Structure 1
Amino acid sequence: MADFPQAYRPDPRILDLGDAFYDPVTAANFPETRLRFRNDRAATGVGLDGLSDGDWIRHFGRFTPLPGNLPQPLALRYHGHQFRVYNPDIGDGRGFLFAQMRDTHGRLMDLATKGSGQTPWSRFGDGRLTLKGGVREILATEMLEALGVETSRTFSLIETGEALDRNDEPSPTRAAVMVRLSHGHIRIGTFQRLAYHRDEDNMRRLVDYVLRNLYREEPGAEPATRLLDLVVQRTAKLAASYMAAGFVHGVLNTDNINVTGESFDYGPWRFLPTWDAGFTAAYFDHAGLYAFGRQPEAIHWDAMQLAVSLRAISPAEPLIAVLDTFGARYQPAVGDAILWRLGLVSRGPEDNAALVNAVERGLRSDNLQVDRFFLDAFGGALPDTEAFAEARTLAAPYAARKSRTHAYWRDDTPCSMLIGEVEAIWSAIAERDDWSLLHAKVDAIRDMGAALA
């Protein structure tokens, strides 16, 4: 590590769990490795921003191990409910855990892949990622980060020179390998797999691992109950942040819920055009299970599956008691999240709830474009319409948390991420290999994030 940045602190703690949790795998040997996106802002936090482009490609396109880190990529094992149907045949099928390290705050961070080749869990898949899928994940993670959602960050995107056939988009289409930076990749489905196999010893081992390494707590007398308490708190906040961002994840299966409460794994996501509880992101979500307004319910249901799994090593009563607090934690969290986006200082759960409910009624009644509303209303300037009369009265005592001096507020056009713009950004890449729209959009999103922060 003599030539590596001093701020890089490798810490492959996953090895403490043992080989019952993963399978060593080899990355695909790609025909090409063309660097398309490197997130130096994220890389700074883990001491990797100083890598040359050549070294970046070597580590994140060819997957040469990072110094002092995992000697070989690991495909993680897990199960999951997919649209409420249990599936014991899944796991990391087109990705793997590549490295772990500490960030500048001392948190254990994972670098994991998407599109890096087949694993024992690929089933009939090719283990690849479309370039369009990688571009969409950049846009989703950048937008969510700017809007205050705890999210994984798209760390790297490298085009691989392969042509892929897909049923849900024009084919053949270009391929890529993506690396994400995330605070852990332990999913609710990781616990479900151990419960399915009645593996109590490894269940205890996993609880201790998560408490120590992801929550930085020493396990106490009731570690399973404590873990559930932490996960319920974090996932309630996650659900609230989705609502404030006007975001629809699309696939809130238990294998897509990280036990740190950090959002990740973006497939058919969407941002709301208007405030519509029934708005869905996935064309195959025919019943609207993961519609915008049902996301808190979906995430609560997922947390319930963690409680069911932990029942293998804990009495039911304390787990049920913790699970029942989800709603009481979600309500103040969604108030705080929407007040943050409105640029107002919280006045407490009751006042916040009344204002937020009035704002939501106004949005539904006036059918306003969501991002337009939040741009204009930041600091308390609610629309002067009858639908917002109650909200204006309730907002009057609130103080602004931040002035509108940032240049972002002087632009009359809100920074949005609706499906038409996503498709336009992709079309420029697909038709002309023009990446300027993507890079300009990332800059604009980060500018908005600075104005909101």
Structure 2
Amino acid sequence: MLGGVREVLASRYLEHLGVNTSRSFCLIETGEELQRHDEPSPTRSAVLTRLNHSHLRFGTFQRQAFFERTDNLEALVDYCRRHFYPEVTRPADLLRAVAIRSADAVASWMAAGFVHGVMNTDNMNVTGEVFDFGPYRFLPYYDPAFTAAYFDHGGLYAFARQPEAMGWNLGQLAQCLSLIEADQPLIAALESYVEQYEAALVRHMFRRLRLAIPARGGAAFVKLTFETLRESRANWPDFFHDWAGGPSSAPLQDYPDVQWREWKRAYADCEPEGPRPETDRPATLLYDEIGALWAPIVDNDDWSTFRDTLEGFDRRLYG
């Protein structure tokens, strides 16, 4: 049940942070006691129904490649062409299309401060939607080495390594498609990922700040933003809430010049593109907050705080 509650919360919160995510349709408690060997047991069991545009995973291709079923790989490519990417005429086209969606997805995670936790190929789908969240976390402040999974001791899926992990996953998809496509067009499609990611990160960071992307200098401003957030260890949700919508009403006094002078100068040159947030505080979903939401459910079957939190996400769009 706790896993289902966590996913309902994350999918709703990510939706309102502008992330392409699966939707949690319903959560049904079964009345059974479930034994989980990696967490306190027994725990209340539930079934979560999730909505996606696709549940076709990178791992789906890997399975067919392992058995050298080139006929099934061709069928998968044709399925993607008919249902998701009508512009696809060959496997390399599909890889490029998936790379574009994947680049946009991971860039949106970075702007949201979202750490997936387990970015293996079976948790990535061809339409670039987040799903099967597992041990996700949201950043309390910018830390490139921040991890979500308690078992990720080496930081394989640390926050700042997520773009690299997505690139590796796309490489595994390319290897599968190499059974039915020449190497060179696949390599060219794969090489487009880095450029697509860099452009998508600029889009999503400016969107979260509700600023218009300048004709030049957007990437430099985004780089400076991450550097300043790392040095200052500013609260991540507060930062985006405070500075969204232009400099006219930003809380200058809360961000001392000793760490923020250069960033404020660059920010002052940006044009607002969207209204200021209407609420005093941002909506958040930090680790301890999830525990506080779960406690009344497990102790008293009280779902009121959980429902209020979901409604709060709706009211504080892009908070």
Same fold (TM over 0.5): yes
- What is the CA-CA distance between 1:391 and the residue it aligns to? 1.5
Counterpart of 1:206 in structure 2 is: 76
Query: 1:106 maps to which residue?
Result: none
1:384 Cα offset (Å): 4.5
Whether 2:55 is the aligned partner of 1:185: answer yes
In 2, the alpha carbon distance for the partners of 1:163 and 1:415 equals 33
- Asked whether 1:240 is paired with 2:110, we answer no
Assess if the C-alpha contact under 8 Å between 1:358 and 1:388 holds in 2: no
Q: How many residues in Structure 1 have an aligned counterpart in Structure 2?
A: 313
Q: Which amino acid aligns with 2:307?
A: H
Q: Does 1:399 align with 2:265?
A: no
**In structure 1, which of residues 275, 287, 301 is the aligned counterpart of residue 142 of structure 2?**
275
Number of the residue aligned with 2:282 = 414
Q: Secondary structure at the match of 1:300?
A: helix
Report the counterpart of residue 228 of structure 2 in structure 1.
362
Q: Is contact 1:165-1:173 (8 Å) kept?
A: yes
2:270 is the counterpart of 1:375? no
Matched, 1:134 2:4: yes
Partner of 1:71: none
Q: Given the two structures, how large is their TM-score scaled by the length of structure 1? A: 0.67
What is residue 24 of structure 2 aligned with on the other side?
154
Does structure 2 retain, via aligned residues, the 8 Å contact 1:149–1:241?
Answer: yes
1:218, distance to aligned residue in structure 2 (A): 5.6
SS of the residue 1:407 aligns to: coil
1:219–1:417 CA distance, 2 compared to 1 (3 A): closer
Structure 2 unaligned regions, length at least 5: none
Tell me the equivalent position of 2:203: 336
Contact 1:278–1:293 (8 Å) recurs in 2: yes
Q: In 1, distance between residues paired with 2:26 and 2:142? A: 33
| Per-residue CA distance 1:319-372 (angstroms, 9 max, x = gap) | 001111111111111111111111101114x41111111111111111111001
In 1, Cα distance between equivalents of 2:167 and 2:24:
26
**Of the candidates 121, 127, 151, which is equivalent to residue 260 of structure 1?**
127
User: With structure 2 as the length reference, what TM-score do the two structures score?
Assistant: 0.95
Larger strand fraction of residues: 1
1:385 deviates by: 2.4
**Percentage of identical aligned residues:** 47
Q: Is the 8 A contact 1:141 1:153 kept in 2?
A: yes
- The 1-side partners of 2:128 and 2:88 are apart by 19
What's the offset of the Cα at 1:170?
2.1
Higher helix share: 2
Equivalent position amino acid for 2:301 in 1 = D
| RMSD, matched Cα | 1.3
Higher RCO (CA < 8 A, seq sep 6+): 2
SS in structure 2 opposite 1:193?
Answer: helix
Does the CA-based 8 Å contact 1:354-1:394 persist in structure 2?
Answer: no
Of the candidates 299, 302, 305, which is equivalent to residue 437 of structure 1? 305
Q: Quick one: distance in 2 between partners of 1:312 and 1:287?
A: 33
Q: How far apart, CA to CA, are the structure 1 residues paired with 2:83 and 2:295?
A: 42
